[in-house]
Structure 1
Amino acid sequence: MQYFTNDFVGFFEELSTNNHREWFHANKKRYEESVKKPFEIFLGKLIQEIQKYDPMLDIEPKDCILRINKDIRFSKDKSPYNLYYTAFVSGGGRKDKSVPGMFLRFSPEMVGVMGGCFGISKEQLHSIRTKIDQDSSQFRKLIENKDFVQKFGEIKGRALKRIPKEWKEAYEKEPLIANKQFYFVGEVSPSIITSDSLINELMNYWKVMRPVNEYLIEAIQ
């Protein structure tokens, strides 16, 4: 099924050179019809597909989709709108990015597909490090899986510059112990947005990220 027309990309391409409230409000109906409504329908179907494998996922599109308005309070760039549309599909939705799930970013340049933990608390970070330390071989096996590497490459995130004494031995076995975040990123051509195989393609990414996400979920919970 095709969820989006070419105007999804067209809207953001034009917004990039007209990023002000006057243009956006003049194109509000277009935004609703080409971006917001079809994205909600698409996301609802994606959630239904994920629930076939994860029936415990209890979330709706409105709980996942982030606002198109930018937070410009602390930014030098005062343009009011993001040039992409995003959603965080997880048990915590957009309000809790520490819960591993699938983060999607649709833009004219690419479709970003991300997973793992972003906003981790101090306690959650300690739990993840402890789990990795207890069985670093299992963690390494998951992130070196050929399908995972092919789609996502490697685990990313900010890392400690100085390793605390309590983690030095674990760091020698697994350098990712130093990470303060554990996330991974895949990129797909934006042509997928208008493709009939959009859901299938994204579900392939979800299935590959699932073992790593579940490992992290088990650690933080």
Structure 2
Amino acid sequence: MDTNMILSYLTDLNKNNNREWYHAHKKEFQKANAQFEALLQELIYKIGEFDSSILYFKPKELTFKIVRDTRFSHDKKPYLPAFRAHIGPKGKLPVPVGYYLLIMPGDHSFLGGGLFAGMFKDATAMVRDYISENPKEWDNVLHSDEFEPFFTVQGDSLKNVPSGYDKEHPHAEYLKYKSWYVEYPFKDNDLMDTDCFIRHAAEIFQRMKPFHDFLNKALAGFEMPKRP
């Protein structure tokens, strides 16, 4: 697969972020997108060696559109110059949590995992409850040799511990969170050796798996809100 084609197209789109250029170069998009899906397929196979729950999806089922929703944004650029995918047990749905890949030229790419979406109040409450009730298990995940040297848990956070939770809890800071996720950045050059990148990405995702397992146990039974 040609990862240089992916980076080249996205770089050009970033420089020409308008509908006229995009439609005039639709074939280039299709070729670059095909390369991204090929990369994604190989990554799925590699992740499947330690997490078989994600093996049953086709790459096109896991990717996100590059068209931006600009209705409520000051930035009116119509496209996000990035290829993105969420490789999860239920495809690209944010719950259960899975493995996130974003390729954005200029060394803005990263591998991610966890619950990125902080707008689901039920999901947030379920994770808070599980952290509150299982502090040792949370400790074991965060401070393991496989996880701690590589990741720092991030997330949207409240100023104070929400009511109903112990303000003196050993993980009070995490109880303020509305989302819990990790990111591992990589550079454009890391994509040049595709086989090496896929092996390294799978290794990083494997290090995330206990973090995912914890969150998915907390989120057991969660149902995505239905659209009206």
- Which consecutive unaligned segments of at least 5 residues does structure 2 have? 221-228
8 Å Cα contact 1:21-1:80 kept in structure 2: yes
Corresponding residue SS for 2:85: strand
User: In 2, distance between residues paired with 1:109 and 1:147?
Assistant: 28
User: In 2, distance between residues paired with 1:51 and 1:7?
Assistant: 26
- Which consecutive unaligned segments of at least 5 residues does structure 1 have? none
Hey, what does 2:67 align to over in structure 1?
69
Letter in 2 for 1:48: Y
User: In 2, distance between residues paired with 1:75 and 1:46?
Assistant: 33
Corresponding residue SS for 2:30: helix
Identical aligned residues as a percent = 26
Residue 78 of structure 1, aligned match among 76, 79, 92: 76
Letter in 1 for 2:126: S
Higher helix share goes to which structure? Answer: 1
- Runs in 1 of length 4+ with deviation above 3 angstroms? none
Hey, what does 2:206 align to over in structure 1?
207
Corresponding residue SS for 1:157: coil
Hey, what does 1:133 align to over in structure 2?
132
The aligned runs of 1:166-185 (5 Å cut-off) are 166-169=164-167, 171-174=168-171, 175-185=173-183
User: In 1, distance between residues paired with 2:36 and 2:135?
Assistant: 39
The TM-score normalised by the length of structure 2 is 0.87
User: In 2, distance between residues paired with 1:108 and 1:208?
Assistant: 25
Distance apart, 1:84 and its partner CA: 1.1
8 Å Cα contact 1:4-1:193 kept in structure 2: no
Residue 22 of structure 1, aligned match among 9, 20, 31: 20
The aligned runs of 1:187-198 (5 Å cut-off) are 187-195=185-193, 196-198=195-197
Corresponding residue SS for 2:81: coil
Hey, what does 2:86 align to over in structure 1?
88
Change over 3 Å in CA distance of 1:11–1:56 after alignment to 2? closer
Letter in 2 for 1:54: D
1:144-169 alpha-carbon deviations (Å, 9 max, x no partner): 223323322x1111112232332024
The aligned runs of 1:22-171 (5 Å cut-off) are 22-33=20-31, 35-57=32-54, 58-94=56-92, 96-110=93-107, 111-119=109-117, 121-152=120-151, 154-169=152-167, 171=168
User: In 2, distance between residues paired with 1:147 and 1:109?
Assistant: 28
User: In 2, distance between residues paired with 1:164 and 1:119?
Assistant: 18
Tell me whether 1:11 sits opposite 2:9 in the alignment: yes
Letter in 1 for 2:205: W
Aligned length: 215
8 Å Cα contact 2:113-2:183 kept in structure 1: yes
1:159-201 alpha-carbon deviations (Å, 9 max, x no partner): 12232332024x5311211111011111011112221312101
Letter in 2 for 1:155: V
8 Å Cα contact 1:98-1:118 kept in structure 2: no
The TM-score normalised by the length of structure 1 is 0.89
User: In 1, distance between residues paired with 2:36 and 2:8?
Assistant: 15
